[in-house]
Each structure stands twice: as structure tokens, then as C-alpha cells.
Amino acid sequence: MKAFKTVENDLDNVFITSQAVIIENDMTEGVLNQYEEGPFKVFVTKSKGEKCSRCWKYRHLGEVTEHPMICKDCVDAIAEKN
């Protein structure tokens, strides 16, 4: 579990999803589906935030006032291209 914590910020991209977090205990609220493999459990829940207009992932928008409809990752990606 500790190894996963070191890459937690990249799990959403690994699993191709809007959000992925590691929790230490079982979830009880908002679980839409659950999968177990050995000692690991995956809980599927509704993502938090709004849909980014660029990547379509559900994220917190408006962190950059010049681009209120896209997430911070997309703002950073656009800045890298320029």
C-alpha cells in the first residue's frame, strides 16, 4: 500500500479515470460498484468536481481565472505548448 501512496497523484492517468485515491479502510457511502483482487479492493464512486471542457475529466475548475472552464492540468499543458 505504501508504494501506491508514492504515485497516488498519477493513479487517475494510470487507470484512465477522472479521480483515483487510496484509502486505508472500506468505503460505505456512494459506492456504485466494488471489485476485489487479493488484498486490494476497488470502489467505484461518482467523481467530485465539474467536467473540464478540454480533457473531459471531472476536476475542480476555476483555479486559473484566465481559464475558468478547464482544469489546472490542462492549463499547464497549454502553457507547455507555448
pLDDT in tens, 5-49: 788 888 888 888 888 888 878 877 889 999 988 888 888 999 889
- Which pLDDT band, with edges at 50, 70 and 90, does 82 fall under? low
Arithmetic mean of pLDDT, 52-80: 92
Q: How many CA atoms lie within 13 A of 81 on its CB side?
A: 6
Q: How many helices (H) and strands (E) does the chain have?
A: 3, 4
pTM: 0.70
Please provide residue 81's backbone torsions phi and psi, each rounded to the nearest 5 degrees: -70, -25
HSE, side-chain direction, 13 A CA sphere, residue 79: 10
Query: What is the structure's pLDDT at 1?
Result: 62
